Amino acid sequence: MERYAVRQFLLSAAVLVVVSVVGFVLLRASGDLAQRIAGSEALAADVEKVRIAYGLDRPLPIQYLDWALNALRGDLGRSLFFPEDVSTLIARRLPITLGLAALGLGTAIIFGILLGTISALKPNGLFDRLALGGAVLGQAMPPFWLGLLFIIFFGLHLGWLPVSGSETWRHFVLPTAVLAIATMPTIMRLTRSGMIDALRADYVRTARAKGLFPFTIVFKHALRNALIPVVAIAAVQLGALMGGSVVLETVFGVQGLGYLAWESINRADYPVVQAIVLVLGGIYCILTFISDLLHAALDPRMRAQ
Amino acid sequence: MRTDGTVLSIEGLKVSLPHREGTIHAVRDVSFDIGRGETVCVVGESGCGKSMTAMAVLNLLPRGARREARGLHWRDEDILKAGERRMRDLRGDRIGMIFQEPLTALNPSLPIGEQLMEVYRRHRPRQKREARARAIDMLGQVGIPNPEERLSQFPYQLSGGLRQRVVIAMALMCEPELIIADEPTTALDVTIQAQILRLLIDLKDRFGLALMLITHDLAVASRVADRIVVMYAGEVVEEAATAEFFARPLHPYARGLLGCLPSAHAGQRDAPLQVIPGTVPSLIGELTGCAFRDRCALAEPACRARIPLTDLGGHKVRCIRADAEEGAS
């Protein structure tokens, strides 16, 4: 188990390095940063001054190493727009995004597992068909579009909930619902197929031959085995949710990391964008790592390796 | 109705399963009794309906299966009409079940201690502490060393033989009166097979259990059975006390089976392996007459008629030549 953990950890670290390099290079490939900072009307001489002032004239590998080494020490540079360190900025916005993603995922897990389990009890029954149909619909609808529909219906038409901002818990209801609807189908389908397999397994027949109650058989014997792949996926999905936050936070005006990323791209605030890519990538790697460990913890056979 | 020490009585059991190409009549006519403390071996090749018979008794048939019978009694209780609630109380408590594959019969994600204790807690509520003591005791009874340490182990940490011992211990947790063992030694190594078999015989005597042992292995049956029930294509074709059966098998199929045992030709090194020609008939659709007639050397036109199980003084056989056969031997 320890060796497995160390190997997965090193793998995550390697992935993070690649992500940071790709993010760094893509940002610079997207256009002349000095020109964008100085403004499109700026004189060539001023653009050159900006280039030298921000060190953008140096070779790319040097720029990267300079930034990466500072980042390792926790110094992500200063924002070009806010009078703050990038790390302070991110520290203030990250909890909002994390919280939203966790709420969305939590809701999706609860309902996904419940619906998936009920569907599996009678495969191809009425409930199963309805749930599967709903899942296809939920997966097919782009979150930003569903978000807009929710804003129009629940916010403007019914007037139940605020449509923009992140001041009170009520602001989080709609974005959470959208995230949950986008994430639930995967969890539901995995639970369903895992449960169908588990309910056919020999150990379930044994459990029935022991006279156990159906509730015990389903929730103690079958679900435990059916959930192993679900847990692995759920952690990875949290990372995907955080990546998707850029769009959703913009739609709902939630002042999180995603919204900050969108704003900073528009403002050519490249230290912030770079840092957000790194942080989101890092979270994704950590979650994948946790997911691997959880998977191992749930499946005793993997623990042995 | 029954007060003569019979624990299980099966009369005219039929099980059918829906299938794309028609109905599968997996069990077509099965009747036999198991007395208190008695070991009955149900013998036959795979697909003859042995396992289905066992599952039908516990009402654990797959979804869609239909069960019919003239009678099905647990002691003197009619369990054909018993509800699921009553059957659930019987399963694991009065009737224990041992399955063929110890690898998959245990839940891979639960410690074996929990899997043992939960049966006891289910049938003896409010006895949590006793459950643990009982689990340790039973693991010891089935010959597992250091039972207390085993409680927290998972199935994958045990060898096949040990797992089967755990499955047996699980079936014994509530001191059942009957154990149904479905090919309990088939998936094991030959040396382990002998150990498990010896353990079953030993436990049966120690706990006064009735045992319904399903096997395709006549050698196994000859060692443990008080009585032998031979099944073919979903029917009981012969039933007799063990010694009587091996001395005077009456049904041509049973004779064929015995002829196939390599030991029947012991001493003849170059004797060819005996086989019964032909294959088992399809169980899809109705089957009338003797199911064995296409493979039988003694078949005659009369074999197409329905043939009842005839009782010849305790030795039952389903063959029109039964009387003649008896006379001949």
Which position has the higher pLDDT, B229 or A23? B229
* Listed range (A71-80, A179-188, B103-112, B154-163) with the worst mean pLDDT: A71-80
Instruction: Tell whether ipTM is more than 0.90.
Output: no
Q: Between chains, do B60 and A212 touch, taking CB under 8 Å as contact? A: no
Most A CBs within 10 Å: which of B93, B107, B212, as the mutation test of the A interface? B107
Which of B61, B83, B72 minimizes the C-alpha distance to B1? Answer: B72
Give the CA-trace dihedral at B14, B18, B21, B24, to 10 degrees. Answer: -20
Output the pLDDT for position B1. Answer: 41
Nearest-by-CA chain B residue for A228: B109
Give chain A's domains with CATH numbers.
2-72 (no CATH), 89-304 (1.10.3720.10)
Are the Cβ atoms of A206 and B106 closer than 8 angstroms?
yes
Give pLDDT tens digits for B292-329.
888 888 888 888 888 888 888 889 999 888 765 554 44
With CA atoms as reference, the chain B residue closest to A297 would be B109
Task: For chain A, say whether B97 makes contact (Cβ under 8 Å).
Answer: yes
Percent of chain B with pLDDT over 70: 93
Residues B133-159 have a mean pLDDT of: 91
Q: Mean of the pLDDT values across residues B236-262?
A: 87
Residues B58, A209: C-beta atoms closer than 8 Å: yes
Closest CA to A76 of A87, A63, A60, A65: A87
For residue B73, what pLDDT is reported?
Answer: 93
8 A C-beta contact, residue B221 and residue B231: no
Compute the distance between CA of residue B320 and CA of residue A189 in angstroms, rounded to an integer: 57
Confidence of residue B242 (pLDDT cuts 50, 70, 90): very high
**pLDDT score at B270:** 67
Global pTM? 0.79
DSSP state letter for A217: I
Q: How far is A215 from chain B (nearest CA, A)?
A: 12
Phi, psi of B20 (to 5 degrees): -55, -40
Q: How would residue B262 be classed by pLDDT, with cut points 50, 70 and 90?
A: low
User: Does B167 sit within 8 Å of A211, measured CB to CB?
Assistant: no
Give pLDDT < 50 ranges for chain A.
none
Nearest by CB to residue B118, choosing from A212, A300, A301, is A212
Q: Does B11 touch chain A (CB under 8 A)?
A: no
A8 touches chain B (CB under 8 A): no
Phi first, then psi, for residue B120 (nearest 5°) are: -65, -45
Q: Are the beta carbons of A213 and B122 separated by less than 8 Å?
A: yes
Segment B247-276 shows an average pLDDT of: 75
Confidence band for B117, pLDDT divided at 50, 70 and 90? very high
Tell me the chain A residues in contact with residue B112 when contact means C-beta distances shorter than 8 Å.
none
Three-state DSSP string of chain B: CCCCCEEEEEEEEEEEEEECCEEEEEEEEEEEEEECCCEEEEECCCCCCHHHHHHHHCCCCCCCCEEECCEEEECCEECCCCCHHHHHHHECCCEEEECCCHHHHCCCCCCHHHHHHHHHHHHCCCCHHHHHHHHHHHHHHCCCCCHHHHCCCCHHHCCHHHHHHHHHHHHHCCCCCEEEEECCCCCCCHHHHHHHHHHHHHHHHHHCCEEEEEECCHHHHHHHCCEEEEEECCEEEEEEEHHHHHHCCCCHHHHHHHHHCHHHHCCCCCCCCCCCCCCCCCCECCCCCCCCHHHCCCCCHHHHCCCCCEEECCEEECCCCHHHHHHHC
pLDDT at residue number A303: 62
Distance CA A274, CA A196 (A): 44
Instruction: Indicate whether B264 pLDDT > 70.
Output: no
Q: What's residue B326's pLDDT?
A: 52
pLDDT of residue A203: 93
Confidence of residue B125 (pLDDT cuts 50, 70, 90): confident
Residue B212: per-residue pLDDT: 95
What residue in A sits closest to B89 (Cα-Cα)?
A211
Distances (CA, A) of A126 to A123, A129, A195, A204, A218: 9, 5, 17, 24, 20
Which pLDDT score is estimated for A304?
58
- Segment of B1-5, B91-95, B282-286 carrying the highest mean pLDDT: B91-95
Q: Is the Cβ of B119 closer than 8 Å to some Cβ of chain A?
A: yes
- Angle of helix A60-72 relative to helix A270-298, nearest 10 degrees, comes to 60
Question: A216, B90: Cβ pair inside 8 Å?
Answer: no
